[in-house]
Chain A
Amino acid sequence: MSSATAHVGLVLVSHSDLVARGTADLVAQMSPDVPVSAAGGASDGGIGTDVERIMVAIDRAEQGGGVAVIADLGSAVLSAETAVELLGGDRAARIAIVDGPFVEGAVAAGVVAQTGGDLDAVRRAASWAAAAGAVGHDHSAGAADHAAAAEATRYLRRATLVNPDGLHARPAAEFVKLATSLGARVTVNGKDARSLLGILSLGLAQGASVEIATDDREGREAVDRLIALVESGFSGE
């Protein structure tokens, strides 16, 4: 890794200053090492977006790992694009604008940045595409062979969520952090275990059953570790 120490920075562009700052707080709590800057509201403090404020926020969030800009509504994306254009060509290559769910996208991006994900990984984590999150079998031609092979190597374990929050908020972030660090292709109830948005979309509360599975031999230890985390009630073990 060329810039192992530099986390990807986040800029949160909302029409509301309060929404931007509140979301930045949420991200900072779960991802303390990630540079996050809020750029919400118009220049007069009202509802809107401010290109100059976005440019300043990008400068603050850039610490060598690139910057993901997460924008809330249509014109926030226009303002973010304008800010990137004004910053110029060299800088633009190190900035990704993400048009996805604002709060969930920011939290997901933060978790991936915290665990050392690069700009592309952070962008994918925050975008709508990641919300689908399924890693299911490929149904294209020749997939039957794969499916048969996968059946033979499939490793699946179940556990019940005992902690009060279920697989939400901080526990979900911890889960994704661990899954990401283990590197293997693992699913939780069919969703990619590394996709925070995918996991949040499952809406798993206390008492719900989770099914953690892998088709890769090298993913078995990851399944065991994740099951252990769930069974511990996310008590830090």
Chain B
Amino acid sequence: MTLDTRWAVAWLTRSADAIEEHAPMLSELDRAIGDGDHGENLNRGFAAVRAALSDLPEDAQPSDVLRVAAMRLISSVGGAAGPLYGTAFLRASDAVSGRGELGPSDVVALIDAALRGIEERGHASAGDKTMVDAWYAAAADAAAAAAEGGDPRAVLAAAARGAARGAESTDGLVARKGRASYLGERAVGHRDPGAESTAIILQAAESA
């Protein structure tokens, strides 16, 4: 299985399915330390992405798929996650522009670009208890897997594992960004919903 346009479409379709399935759980996490709408908002955004994927031109490349997803997320999510995930997919699209099929270094570049887009847009860094923590660990593990000579699938699998680990790591952190930052120590013991949705989306990338 190569990472081509079909894979990109499958990634986003599986992401939409998984977000729909886990939306109540994501909103539950968000209710504890935010405003409780992360699951619903993302589900609305990915439903719009799913609908837009059927209108792609025949010769669409992976970067086109990611760009369509970015625009739909930006205009449909409504909360902060829209501009954040939108910017992530926009930068990811730029990173693989012109590539019909992604190699290991393309996967690393894609995830790295998404991470940097989110850091810049959210003015957040690793350790702030945000989705950056999941993307950061994903990028680190993906780079390590590529350096060890892993194929694109192995790099994706490493990214998915990294994202899950990064999401878990937010449990013990005090939030420094977003609404959860108002809670101080009380946010400790709760997982960041954006980090969890990142883990879900990168898991979908691996299984697509």
Could you mark each residue 41-58 of chain A with 1 if its beta carbon is under 8 Å from any beta carbon of chain B, else 0?
011101111111000000
Are the CB atoms of A82 and B87 closer together than 8 Å? yes
Number of inter-chain CB pairs below 8 Å:
47
Q: Which of chain B's residues have a CB closer than 8 A to the CB of A218?
A: none
Minimum Cβ distance to chain B for residue A48 (Å): 3
Residue A203, interface by CB 8 Å: no
A75 close to B75 (CB less than 8 A): no
The residues in B between 39 and 85 inclusive whose CB is less than 8 angstroms from any CB of A are 41, 44, 74-80, 82-84
Instruction: With CB as the reference atom, state the residue of chain A lying closest to B78.
Output: A48
Give Cα A118–Cα B78 distance, bound, in whole angstroms: 32
Choice from B83, B90, B178, B179 contacting A79 with Cβ under 8 Å: B83
Q: With the chains together, A48 CA to B44 CA distance in Å?
A: 13
Residue of B78, B82, B122 near A46 (CB, 8 A) is B78
Cβ of B99 within 8 Å of any chain A Cβ, yes or no, is: no
Flag whether B121 is at the interface (Cβ < 8 A). Answer: yes
Assess whether A78 is interfacial by the CB under 8 Å rule. yes
Give chain B residues whose Cβ lies under 8 Å from the Cβ of A43: 75-76, 78
B104 at the interface (CB under 8 A from A): no
| Residue in B41, B82, B178 whose beta carbon sits within 8 Å of that of A51 in the complex | B82
Counting chain B residues whose Cβ lies within 8 A of the other chain, the interface size class is 10 to 19
User: Do the beta carbons of A51 and B83 come within 8 Å of each other?
Assistant: yes
Question: Which residues from chain A contact B178 at a C-beta distance below 8 Å?
Answer: 74
Residues of B within 8 A of A120 (CB): none
B166 at the interface (CB under 8 A from A): no
Query: A82 to B80, Cβ gap below 8 A?
Result: no
Majority secondary structure, B binding face: helix
Q: Is A81 interfacial (CB-CB < 8 Å)?
A: yes
Evaluate contact between A48 and B83: CB separation under 8 angstroms. no
Q: In the bound complex, how far is the Cα of B86 from the Cα of A50, in angstroms?
A: 12
Expressed in whole angstroms, the Cα–Cα distance for A49 and B36 within the complex equals: 16
A85 to B74 CA separation, bound complex (whole angstroms) = 12
Q: Which residue of A lies closest to B76 (CB)?
A: A43
Interface centre among B78, B122, B178 (most CB of A within 10 A): B78
Establish whether residues B74 and A51, one from each chain, have CB atoms under 8 Å apart when the complex forms: yes
Within the assembled complex, what's the spacing in Å between the Cα atoms of A78 and B44? 19
Q: Do residues A75 and B80 form an inter-chain contact, with CB atoms below 8 A?
A: yes
Chain A residues within 8 Å of B83, by CB: 51, 75, 78-79, 81-82
Residues in chain A near residue B77, CB distance under 8 A? 48
Contact B80 A74, beta carbon cutoff 8 Å: yes
Q: In the complex the two chains form, what is the Cα distance from A22 to B121 in whole Å?
A: 28
The verdict on A79 contacting B87 (CB below 8 Å), with A51-B75, A74-B178 known, is no
- Residues of A near B121 (CB, < 8 A) are 78, 81-82
Encoded as 1 (CB less than 8 Å from any B CB) or 0, chain A from 11 to 53 comes to 0000000000000000000000000000000111011111110
A48 near B75: Cβ-Cβ < 8 Å: no
Question: In the bound complex, what is the Cα–Cα distance between A81 and B84 (angstroms)?
Answer: 11
| Chain B hits for A52, CB < 8 A | 74-75
Name which residue of chain A comes closest to B73, CB basis.
Answer: A51
CA distance A156 to B20 in the complex (A): 67
User: Chain B interface (Cβ within 8 Å of chain A)?
Assistant: 41, 44, 74-80, 82-84, 86-87, 90, 121-122, 178-179
Interface CB pairs A-B, < 8 A, 17: A42-B78, A43-B75, A44-B78, A46-B78, A48-B41, A48-B79, A50-B78, A51-B75, A51-B82, A74-B80, A75-B80, A75-B82, A78-B121, A79-B82, A81-B83, A82-B82, A85-B87
**6 more A-B residue pairs beyond the given contacts A48-B77, A75-B80, A78-B83, with a C-beta to C-beta distance below 8 A:** A48-B78, A74-B179, A75-B79, A78-B84, A79-B83, A82-B87
